[in-house]
A = this chain, B = another copy of it.
Amino acid sequence: MKLRFNIWEEIMPFFIPKYDSLRIHDLMLSDSIRTQTYRRAIEANVKKGDTVIDVGTGTGILALFAAKAGARKVYAIEPTGIIDLAKRIAERNGFSDRIEFIKARAEEVDIPEQVDCIVSEWLGVFGVQENMLPSVASVRDRFLKSEGKILPETVDLFLSLVEDRELYYEKIGRWKKQPYGLDYTDFAFCQANDVHVTTFNSDNLLSDPVRIINIDMKYSINSNFKVEKHFKVVREGICHGLAGWFQAIFPGGIILDTAPDQPLTEWRQSFFPIAEPVQVNRGEEIIVKFSTKADNEIVHFIREIVFPNSDRPSFVSDTRKVKFSD
């Protein structure tokens, strides 16, 4: 087996508790599409004199953008130690008086006033995986003025049937082929149940993308949902699973789009494999039952792919099957 060089997809799903490390912040800050889109959205929506909450401020960059845009007061919430660095950066930029850093979990925070705007970069793998949405909702329900803005305002999740022989081999196929002379099919089983961060291009898609859910940040309370969607196959090919991505939309129509045909972001796309590749034909209709289940700091993805016009079995995969808790 050859060591791959872009190993992003190996690791991303397990970043979650490590926001006290410098590396994850370097990565997020270095994604200029992510950071510049938030910057434009903040400049377009935060008015002079506004009060703002930044949920999960990290090194404080969104809070700094809000202060630069004229915010009178920014409450920057962050539970991890990186907040100490954020304070130093705010001081050096001359915003210590306008940004108040609060080291706490968002759910536990108390803000002495209602605010005009909430900003948060709460997005993870397939948008919701980090399960930060309830934290943002908790702050919104307690501290956002009724006419206040929330950035982003909606997050749409998309799926498409996908063909990618090489990716499938790398993630699953090779583990079935006696690597190092050993039977590693149990590892392949886990890999097939997992979600993998990878990159696709439009050529990989076997169906038109389907928006499976529209998350409205004005009202949404958690990351759990359950849908059943029909996918029309647009070309003959081998289905290796589902490609997933999200679109975050800010008030005023500014969009952060992580689709396969868009410039690459740190999120890439998500790959939900099936255990065995299946031949599909143009015009065929495939049913996908997709649900999420929040489990503390992670959202699990459960999916079933049904091939109604054939005797091929449906495939159920579930990230809960790859959780090895200590």
Beta-carbon contact of A183 and B39 below 8 Å: no
A232 to B88, CA, bound (A): 38
Instruction: Give the most central of A11, A18, A35, A264: most B CB within 10 Å.
Output: A11
Check if A13 is an interface residue, CB within 8 A of chain B. yes
Docked Cα-Cα span, A189 to B92, in Å, equals 13
Binary contact track A309-326/B, C-beta < 8 Å → 1, others 0: 000000000000011111
A69 CB to nearest B CB, Å: 11
Q: Given A11-B11, A32-B1, A33-B3, do A180 and B20 touch, yes or no (CB 8 Å)?
A: no
Is residue A119 contacting chain B, with contact meaning CB distance below 8 A?
no
Task: Tell me how far the C-beta of A145 lies from the nearest C-beta in chain B, rounded to whole angstroms.
Answer: 27
How would residues 32 to 45 of chain A score, 1 for a CB under 8 Å from any chain B CB and 0 otherwise?
Answer: 11011001000000
Closest to A184 in B: B89
Cβ contact of A326, chosen from B13, B80, B180, B194, cutoff 8 A:
B80
**A165 CB, min distance to chain B CBs, angstroms:** 18
Tell whether A3 pairs with B264 under 8 Å between CB atoms, given A39-B180, A80-B324, A194-B22: yes
- Known A11-B27, A322-B22, A325-B20; contact A85-B190, beta-carbon cutoff 8 A: yes
In the assembly, what is the distance between CA of A14 and CA of B325, in Å? 18
A166 located at the interface, meaning its Cβ lies under 8 Å from any Cβ of chain B in the complex: no
Q: Judging by beta carbons under 8 Å apart, are A92 and B185 in contact?
A: yes
A14 partner, pick from B24, B88, B187, beta carbons under 8 A: B24
Query: What's the Cα separation between A326 and B84 when bound, in Å?
Result: 10
With both beta carbons as reference points, the residue of chain B lying nearest to A26 in the complex is identified as B10
**Which residue of chain B is the closest to A14 with respect to CB atoms?**
B21
CB distance from A58 to the nearest CB of B (A): 11
Q: What is the CA–CA distance of A21 and B194 in the complex, to the nearest angstrom?
A: 10
Chain B residues near A186 (CB-CB < 8 A): 85, 88-89, 92
Which residues of B lie under 8 Å from residue A82 when comparing CB positions? 324
What is the minimal beta-carbon distance from A181 to any residue of chain B, in angstroms?
Answer: 7
Select the residue from A82, A179, A181, A186 with max chain B CB neighbours within 10 A. A186
Q: Assess the B80–A187 pair: CB atoms within 8 A.
A: no
16 more CB-based (< 8 A) A-B contacts, given A11-B23, A88-B186: A2-B30, A3-B30, A3-B31, A5-B8, A11-B15, A14-B24, A20-B324, A21-B324, A25-B187, A36-B180, A64-B182, A83-B324, A89-B182, A89-B187, A92-B186, A93-B183
Which A positions have Cβ atoms within 8 angstroms of B? 1-8, 10-11, 13-15, 17-18, 20-27, 29-33, 35-36, 39, 59, 61, 64-65, 68, 79-85, 88-89, 92-93, 179-187, 190-191, 194, 264-266, 322-326
